[in-house]
Amino acid sequence: MRKRTSSLTAEHDSVPPAAPEDSDPAVKRCPPQGKVGHGAPQGTDPEKRMAKSFKRLGLAGKVKRILMWILLVYFCIPVLVKLCPSIQAKLVFLNFVRLPYFIDLKRPSDHGLNHTVNYYLEPESGFKIGVWHTVPAQMWAEAQGKDRDWYDAALLSPHPVILYLHGNAGTRGGDHRVQLYKVLSSFGYHVVTFDYRGWGDSDGSPSEGGMTADSLFMYHRLKRAVANKPLYVWGHSLGTGVATNLVRRLSDTGSPPDALVLESPFTNIREEARSHPFSMVYRYLPGFDWFFLDAISANDIRFASDENVNHISCPVLILHAEDDSVVPFHLGRKLYAAAASSKSLSGHKVQFIPFQASLSYKHKFIYRSPELPHILSDFFGAVHPNTQ
């Protein structure tokens, strides 16, 4: 359009000069072609309108292209997960997500745990797992500068021991986990935790069977060390599935732990995956179970706590926050209903403690509850009155 306008201007420049006005009064002068009064050149307004329309069409095209890409990715992801089930396994374990980054797991004192020792064990020949042992706060002063042998001997103290099984993502040095160790230590418990194979600085790759085997190894080692002292198992989130696997196996052999604590538990991994926030955009997609849940089963991942409670024979305490968006509250209550009606748990204390949404404990901040020491004291006291 600019080229055309400039050519029109050039034509006007070549027109011979008009005769003076007084040479012919009857002749009426017309304004030069291409101008109307004192306004802008003809065609300017239409050009602007056309440019705007082109811009609008361009924006609409871009939006359409973005939406097409989003839809393409949306439908490709289920197909990719179905074709490569190992992707779904990685999403369940999230062991590659190491938060916080750049932490040295060999130095628990960097996290304020200066009454904790780090060491490594070999559940099986050829690979090691990283372990932390935090002694009760009452032993803090004595623990300064001590080595692993001192910590192992400290397990013979009168204080009860908790084997803590963490959830997916992160490491044994995760912030909310460290805060829980501190709280439990202040209550007078030894806390022993570790990273399953494939997590943190532990060797190997993750699997449900491997996580359960590592937990069995740690439990038996602690049981030999503590002798007849109380030994409790505490699982959080995905760790509750590991915990019920562990305790089921121990119960089947007639040697269950003294009690089991399940923090933010689910019933089984299929129901948890269906309820997880990540699945929200696909939950109502036809074939959701076939694409996603069957891919989990294809990796031999079940974590069937609702089945395990029918084989567990020790007291069970369930803690769950109503505003938990990762493992919905209704799954914890459903697991409690299954445990309460379990024949194997008949005669054992089974307790469910809900935490109101107004407290904002969500998925991993129950340790902040000022009621927690009383809850544990009442529960463990009923199990072992002489240890409180």
Q: Catalytic amino acids? A: 237, 324, 363
Check if the beta carbon of residue 236 is closer than 8 Å to that of residue 357: no
Helix (H, G, I), strand (E, B) or coil at 55: helix
Please give the Cα distance from 61 to 261 (Å, whole number).
56
Give CA angle at 148 (144, 152), nearest 5°: 105
Give CA angle at 95 (376, 206), nearest 5°: 95
Check if the beta carbon of residue 222 is closer than 8 Å to that of residue 163: yes
Q: How far, CA to CA in Å, does 121 sit from each of 5, 195, 217, 383, 388?
A: 84, 11, 10, 31, 31
Token output for 52 = 């705007």
Check if the beta carbon of residue 240 is closer than 8 Å to that of residue 265: yes
Dihedrals phi, psi of 100, to nearest 5 degrees: -70, 155
Residue type, 370: P
The interaxial angle of helices 85-93 and 44-83, nearest 10 deg, is 90
Q: Which residue, 138, 143, 179, 132, is CA-closest to 160?
A: 138
DSSP string computed for 71-108: HHHHHHHHHHHHH-HHHHHHHHH-TT--SSTT--TT-G
* Length of the chain, in residues: 388
Check if the beta carbon of residue 118 is closer than 8 Å to that of residue 106: yes
Residue 100 preceded by cis peptide, ω within 30: yes
